Amino acid sequence: MQVSVINYKKVEVQFLLEDLKIFQNILKEVRLALEGGGYETRVGVSPRQAGGFFESILQEMKESGDREIQVSLSRLEITVLNNLLSEGCHGINIQNFEAKIGVAKKEAKNLLNLVNRAIKEMDSLREIRRASYLPSSFDSPTRKICRLEADGDQLTFYLRRPPSNIKNKVYVLFRLTIESSELKFSTDSTLLEIFTEQLWDVVNGLEKYLALLEKGEVEHLGQFTLINKPVLQIKAQGIGIASNGEKQTIMNLRLSAFEPRAILKKTVVEVKGAVFLKNLRSFVSSMQQALTELSESNADG
């Protein structure tokens, strides 16, 4: 098996027929060992999804008539390979390893090291990319940060002016951070190039929603969609009063982090929380200021 890292979210893997048989054998042993539960947590997908993944590659190989195939894999898919190898080599006890898997345990560990190195390289490329795009300062004239909080969870808009030859657009990256006393987790969208007008539509929609809340005209609407895009969805569910007497609205924040193969689970993170109206106003104001300043700097550039 050979692995070539293309970028932070894609690798090219060259499988021999023997490699796929090894993975199928490990999959079988891991499934048997984890029949009582925990398979999906430890591997990342269900046994059916993992099995379907390898079967689809084998089918492609069969149709081509070759004994090897080159496949493009997402970050999630290469992680599934890593998790299977890790479970087979370290997580579960496989008696008569070579007879059941088809190779000695040392050779399986070599495959694990190969996949591990690829993942580390992808992570390194991701950090380099993030450092080049994410704002390093609130004072930068071309980079802006706007945050919306919901019960401690946080949706952050990172806005950056594109090169001067790209007019009326901004680069946007969404980050959803979930935090509790036991957990802190964050996930990013892909970097998007969006027309400034589309973001103004979002801001204006939020401003209208605030006006309806303040007039008490929202309760009869039920669920109210503020943003409905493939990557990001924000829905609100009317107004309420917090224990301290402040007005708040309940919001669902839904972020699609990746778009892997259909045979694997789509990575979607969704949270629901209360947003104080003062925080919503602050977010709207910061977005208005950011978009205005980015538009002005683009015009100057």
For residue 149, the surrounding DSSP H or E stretch is: strand 143-150
Determine if the pTM surpasses 0.85: no
Write down the residue that tokens 């390898």 correspond to: 54
Instruction: State in Å, rounded, how far the first CA of the chain is from the last one.
Output: 49
Q: Which residues fall within 8 angstroms of residue 75, CB to CB, at 6 or more apart?
A: 8, 9, 10, 119, 122, 258, 260
User: How far, in Å, CA of 217 to CA of 201, rounded?
Assistant: 21
Question: Residue 166: pLDDT above 80?
Answer: no
pLDDT tens, residue by residue, 174-232: 887 877 666 566 777 767 778 888 889 888 888 888 887 777 665 554 555 666 666 77
Write down the residue that tokens 């602050």 correspond to: 282
Report the pLDDT value the prediction gives residue 222, as an integer from 0 to 100.
Answer: 52
Report the pLDDT value the prediction gives residue 29, as an integer from 0 to 100.
Answer: 92
pLDDT tens, residue by residue, 12-55: 888 888 998 999 999 999 998 888 778 888 888 888 888 888 88
Q: Which domains does the chain have, with CATH numbers?
A: 2-132 (no CATH), 137-300 (2.30.31)
Average of per-residue pLDDT across 118-137: 66
User: How far, in Å, CA of 28 to CA of 42, rounded?
Assistant: 14
Contact of 253 with 271, CB cutoff 8 Å: yes
Percent pLDDT > 90 in the chain is: 12
From the list 74, 88, 67, the residue with the least C-alpha distance to 22 is: 88
Question: Residue 262: pLDDT above 50?
Answer: no
What are residue 70's DSSP bridge partners?
14
User: How far, in Å, CA of 225 to CA of 4, rounded?
Assistant: 42
